Amino acid sequence: MSIQDIIVQGKTVLGIEFGSTRIKAVLADDAGKVLAVGGHDWENRYEDGIWTYSLEDIWTGLQDCYADLAANVKKQYDVEITTIGAIGFSAMMHGYMPFDDKDELMVPFRTWRNNITGPASEALSRLFQHAIPQRWSIAHLYQAILNGEEHVPAIKFMTTLEGYIHWKMTGRKVLGIGEASGMFPIDTEKKTYNARMIQQFNELVADKKYPWKLEEVLPEILLAGDNAGVLTEEGAKLLDVSGKLCSGIPLCPPEGDAGTGMVATNSVAPRTGNVSAGTSVFAMIVLEKELRSMHPEIDLVTTPSGELVAMVHSNNCTTELNAWVNLFKEFAETMGMKVDMNELYSKLYNKALEGDPDCGGLLAYGYHSGEHITGFSEGRPLLARSPESKFNLANLMRVQLYTSLGALKVGLDILRCEHVKIDKVLGHGGLFKTPVVGQRIMAAAMDTPVTVMETAGEGGAWGMAVLASYMKNKAENETLAEYLDKKIFAGVNGVEMAPIRKDVEGFYEFIGSYEKGLGIEAAAVSSMVW
């Protein structure tokens, strides 16, 4: 079939992911080949001490992203999208969206970026004997209870961003198990919320006499491959304001960007792992067994099929790195030069490889927001050096690349002490778009070979499209891992890079300075107050 016929007949899958700075749509065929993409840039707001996106931002962004995809399809193939074989929605993980009995959002969407639930996180971790990160939905809910927030008694339903979008598209209040595992801990044997911990939470808040129990307000859990409803007429109009897209299209379970990252890198089997590096950075390692100890720095979540995963998540990655690149862009333009951003990134990233393995004594923190791994509820980006430090462009760029992985490295070293075995690690996300450089720095940080695949640049939106394809096309009893191996990644090439010993040693020197220098960051947070 021609691509035009594939699109017209709906032999396609669509994945849409709400990233932190970009909403991306990927239209692919059933084998995962990308046919067209669309996008919409957006940015979170910091309002009344909360990192958030407005509902208007969400819907305007989704509609503009889909319209961009449709326009690109028309431009590339001279056909209109009227139907699609299957659709899936994904978004940045977790956060807090509580709704009342009128389906109204009661407080502004609280994103993963908020480090405002410390007391709740600590109390629930002690109660459950299970690490509850600050960004998890249950931590946000309990913090709202501790704060005495007036909306809590009126909660009828709570979900995450992609769960909200899916609900409005289909009318179904469901969530994929990978994302649900970041709302509340999962029983990986029964593939549902942990019943013991549900009971413990209900007993914890029993004296409040709320008219709801926790299990009544959480989304229903679905596994990869399950049917999660169909696009309603109202949903079709919300997605495609032109009215050309028909209703009745099946949707797969909505998943978080952690789950789609695992799919996009074929890292859903035990002893495989992936690192997603963009605005935030996280490593996902599929475990063979439970960790020996509870570690507040390590999240225990699941794959989209429900296998146990150790997750190391850092709130801050490339934001400060991008700020420095933009500064050099401004300088070049001031000097009358025309700047191509792809070329600028390539030259500056490759310049970093000329720097000293330990960054020449430079120290930096790219904390634009708090960082739970190192104990910060707020962040202040900073650069520090001694008079003897080797302050040059190569070391400046190298230290920005190193520090973008600094907090992640702290968490990864905990897994190393737990003797977690990893056969392969795959990288994806913006850090890896420039060939070699991000991959080499990540290999140094992990002291493990890192592979970047041809599909890495498409990221989570493509991973979500693949999950839609799995639901639509899987054979009976075919697992997600089997489907990925046989039907999506067979013949897909990847480039593996082994760690270079001087880089590994230099990164260890840097991380020693990074951990000793956290007091400088703390002083900046307490002193730089406006």
Q: Which pLDDT value is given to residue 30?
A: 94
Whether the Cβ atoms of residue 187 and residue 195 lie closer than 8 Å to each other: yes
pLDDT tens column, 427-475: 887 888 888 999 999 999 999 899 988 655 567 899 999 999 999 999 9
Q: Which helix (H) or strand (E) holds 180?
A: helix 177-180
Contact 270, 437 (CB under 8 A): no
pLDDT confidence of residue 93: 83
Q: How many domains does the chain have?
A: 1
Residue of 208 and 432 predicted with greater confidence: 208
DSSP state of 65: H
Residues 6+ apart with CB under 8 A from 399: 355, 359, 360, 362, 363, 364, 383, 510
Give the model confidence (pLDDT) of 64-113 as tens digits. 999 999 999 999 999 999 999 999 999 998 899 999 999 999 999 999 88
Instruction: Report the alpha-carbon angle 348-350-356, nearest 5.
Output: 100
Q: CB of 123 within 8 A of CB of 142?
A: yes
Average the pLDDT over 479-494 and give the result.
90
User: Each residue of 14-35: pLDDT tens digit?
Assistant: 999 999 889 999 999 999 999 9
Task: Determine the pLDDT at residue 155.
Answer: 98
Is 365 part of any domain? Answer: yes
**pLDDT grade, residue 167 (50/70/90)?**
very high
Decide if 288 is inside a domain: no
DSSP helix/strand/coil, 175: strand
Residue with tokens 């339903």: 157
Q: For residue 209, is it within any domain?
A: no
Give the C-alpha separation, 180 to 168, whole Å.
18
Return the percentage of the chain with pLDDT > 90, whole number. Answer: 84
Backbone angles phi, psi at 36, to 5 degrees: -165, 155
| Token duo for residue 337 | 């030069």
Q: Is the pLDDT of residue 530 over 80?
A: no
Q: Name which of 91, 169, 1, 86 is nearest 465 in CA terms.
A: 86
**Where are the extended beta strands (E) located within 1-58?**
12-18, 22-29, 34-41, 45-47, 50-52
β-strand pairing of 220-222 with 363-365: unpaired
Identify whether 359 is part of a domain.
yes
Beta-carbon contacts of residue 389 (< 8 Å; ≥ 6 apart): 360, 361, 362, 395
Tokens of 104: 């109204």
| CA 97/CA 104 separation, integer angstroms | 10
| DSSP assignment letter at 491 | T
Radius of gyration of the chain measured on its C-alpha atoms: 23
Cα separation, 151 vs 146, whole angstroms: 12
The H or E element spanning position 285 is strand 281-286
pLDDT at 490: 87
The span from the CA of 305 to the CA of 262, in Å, is: 11
Q: Which of 319, 321, 301, 318 is nearest to 310 (CA)?
A: 301
Is residue 325 one of the residues assigned to a domain?
Answer: yes
In a domain, 394, yes or no: yes
Span 158-171, average pLDDT: 98
* Contact yes or no for 517/363 (Cβ under 8 A): yes
> What is the pLDDT averaged over residues 133-142?
95
Q: Given a cut of 90, is residue 213 above it in pLDDT?
A: yes
Which amino acid is present at 149? E
CA-angle at 33, arms to 31 and 36, nearest 5°: 135
Tell me the per-residue pLDDT of 227-271, one tens digit each, with 9 for 90 and over.
Answer: 999 999 999 999 999 999 999 999 999 999 889 989 988 999 898
Answer yes or no: is 429 within a domain.
no
Confirm if 296 and 337 have CB atoms less than 8 A apart: no
What is the structure's pLDDT at 77? 98
Q: Using one digit for the tens of pLDDT, what is the confidence trace for 292-350?
A: 888 988 989 999 999 999 999 899 999 999 999 999 999 999 999 999 999 999 999 99
SS3 328: helix
Average pLDDT in the chain:
94
Burial 141-159 (b: 16+ CB within 10 A, else e): bbbbbeeeeeebebbbbbb
What is the CB neighbour count within 10 angstroms for residue 525?
17
Where in the sequence is the domain holding 363, given as residue range(s)?
A: 319-403+502-527
Helix (H) or strand (E) run with residue 282 in it:
strand 281-286
Q: Give pLDDT tens digits for 370-416.
A: 998 999 989 999 999 999 999 999 999 999 999 999 999 999 999 98
Residues recorded for the chain: 530
Domain annotation covers residue 343: yes
CA-CA distance, 333 to 206, in Å (whole number)?
62
